[in-house]
Structures are given as C-alpha cells and as structure tokens.
Amino acid sequence: MSWLSRVRNALSFVVPNKAETPDNLWHKCKGCGQMVFTRELQENMSVCPLCDHHERIGGRARFEQLFDAGYTVLPGPRVTEDPLKFRDQKPYPARIKAARASTGEQDAFLNASGTIDGHKAVIGVQDFAFMGGSMGQAVGEAFIAGVEAAIAARAPYIVFTASGGARMQEGILSLMQMPRSTVAISMLHDAGLPYIVVLTDPTSGGVMAAYAMLGDVQIAEPKATLAFTGRRVIESTIREKLPDDFQTSEYYLDHGLIDMVVHRKELREKLSQLIGLLVGGEKAAA
C-alpha cells in the first residue's frame, strides 16, 4: 500500500463522507449574506433572525403558519399542458417536469380551506420556486377554483402573490388569465365576500397588473419587491434616477398604493382581525 493510500484511509476516519454530511444544515440569508442554521430559520417562520429578511416560502409552509389545525389542501385543476408546443433551450414539458420534481407541486398556485383563529377562510398561494411563480392556465384555473371554494364556504379569499409575471411558454393563453381572474374577483364581490391580497417578494409583471392589486385590503410583507416593469426599463424610459427604495413594500405604503406592511409573525393575527371586521366576526362552529 502506497503512502498516499494510507493517508487517504486515515483521513476517511476523520473527515465524514460527503453523503453523510447534511447539505441543508446551513442557509445563506439573501438579505445580510450571513449563514443561519436552517432549523433556526424554519423555527423563526423563515425570517432571518439576524436581519429580519423574509425568505420566500411555498404554499404548504404558508398554510402551516396561518391555518388552525385541520385545514384541507384543495386539488389543483387539470389543464392542457404545452398547448402551443413551445420550445426554447428545452421543451416546455421538460421545464414543467423539472419544476414539479424540485417543488413537489403540480404548478405554481395552491389553495387550501380551513380556519384562522376560528374564522373560515380560503387561502391561495403562489410559489416563486415553481418557474418563477409564472401565471399560466394552471394558475388561472387554480385562482378561479379558489374563488369558487370561498363562495361555497361563505369565506373570504386570501391570496399570497409571488410571481415574475405571465408564463411566456403559454403566450396569449397566459395573458387571458388576467381578465379571467378579474371576473372571478367580481363574482366574489357579488357574493358579498372580501378579497384580501398579501404581496410577497417578488410580485411583478402581469400578476401585478391583475389580481395582485385588486384586493379589498392590500397587505405586503416587509421589503418585498413589487413592480410591473423592471427598474432599469423605467429609468431608461424616463431618463431619471429612481429612489433606492423604489418598488418596495415601504415605498408603496408611503405612496398610498397598499394599506399596510405586516411582519410574517404578526400576519395570522392581522388576518384574523380583518376577517372578523369584514365578515362580521362570526367564527366557524367547533
């Protein structure tokens, strides 16, 4: 046995095998850049304990944070996949398959029904991890299904937005979800039920131009990026330098575009208060 083999064998007892070392033990905060224990971050509702940066989270994590025990995740509607036979660097079905494998979800929008502090509610969540939360036919159908579930339950519909905009692989079919979601919100209003929007990081593009800004109450998480068009596009168009806090939750609040900025730890209590005020304070039977 050579000396190199002996050294390698000796080190194997000291240095753990990579397969035995958790690769998700630490998380690098996107706000301050510091390393945080993943478990500590999760216990803090995915908010950095060092700088208070709100990390992006998916639907199931939202439901756990907001609902009382016993909520129900609603099945997603089925739609025609790849209606335009779109292909860029890879086929559209391959992108969908990869997104489903990484997130465990069928598409970028998920609904659930339950209670928040005893108040009935239906919550819809857009997941940026699924192809940038892009709005396609599946997202539009899920949004409408969430509205219908809220009407059937006589409950408010609460939507958490997180999207880069319309899904380019579905072309005009994705843009048609803008008027369809608007009509669905009108159905909710005709039923006398509130529509509450919580804007999360980031919300932009066609989603920002549609159901993201049509809430009866507009809430945002702290320091979320909120925009229709990119900062550089606007600056090159108007030929002016924009403020540093432009297109943030705080900027929108200061200019009257949203009603409040609410920390994630306070969101459940705030939503419970709003439902009580808007629906009349009646709680679901135990």
Render pLDDT for 201-213 as a digit per residue (tens, 0 to 9). Answer: 999 999 999 999 9
| DSSP assignment of 105-128 | SSSSEEEEEEEETTEEEEEEEE-T
Whole-angstrom distance, CA of residue 193 vs CA of residue 65 = 23
Is domain 57-280 annotated with CATH 3.90.226.10? yes
Whole-angstrom distance, CA of residue 204 vs CA of residue 164 = 5
Element (H, E) at 262: none
pLDDT higher than 90, residue 216: yes
Q: How many alpha carbons fall within 13 Å on the CB side of residue 110?
A: 21
pLDDT value at residue 257: 97
pLDDT value at residue 280: 76
Sheet containing strand 217-220, strands side by side: 72-73, 109-116, 119-126, 157-163, 195-203, 217-220, 260-261
Q: Which of 200, 208, 210, 99 is nearest to 144 (CA)?
A: 210
pLDDT value at residue 7: 53
pLDDT higher than 70, residue 145: yes
Q: In the chain, which residues fall in CATH 3.90.226.10?
A: 57-280
Task: Tell me the H-state helices in the chain.
Answer: 3-14, 38-43, 59-66, 92-103, 137-153, 171-175, 177-190, 205-208, 231-238, 249-254, 264-279
Check: CB of residue 230 under 8 Å from CB of residue 202. no
Detail the residues annotated as belonging to a binding site for Zn(2+): 29, 32, 48, 51
User: Which residues are CB-contacts of 285 (< 8 A; sequence separation ≥ 6)?
Assistant: none
Detail the residues annotated as belonging to a binding site: 29, 32, 48, 51
Q: How many alpha carbons fall within 13 Å on the CB side of residue 63?
A: 22
First to last CA, the chain: 72
pLDDT (mean) for 231-241? 93
Q: Which of 194, 172, 177 is nearest to 185 (CA)?
A: 194
- For 211, list phi and psi in degrees, rounded to 5: -70, -15
pLDDT (mean) for 217-246? 94
Element (H, E) at 162: strand 157-163
| Among 2-16, 63-77, 155-169, 213-227, the least confident range | 2-16
Q: Using 50, 70 and 90 to split pLDDT, how confident is the model at 184?
A: very high
Instruction: Give per-residue pLDDT as tens, 64-76.
Output: 999 999 999 999 9
Q: Using 50, 70 and 90 to split pLDDT, how confident is the model at 103?
A: very high
pLDDT averaged over every residue in the chain = 92
pLDDT (mean) for 151-161? 98
Q: What percent of the chain has pLDDT over 90?
A: 89
| Among 55-69, 173-187, 272-286, the least confident range | 272-286
Whole-angstrom distance, CA of residue 85 vs CA of residue 217 = 39
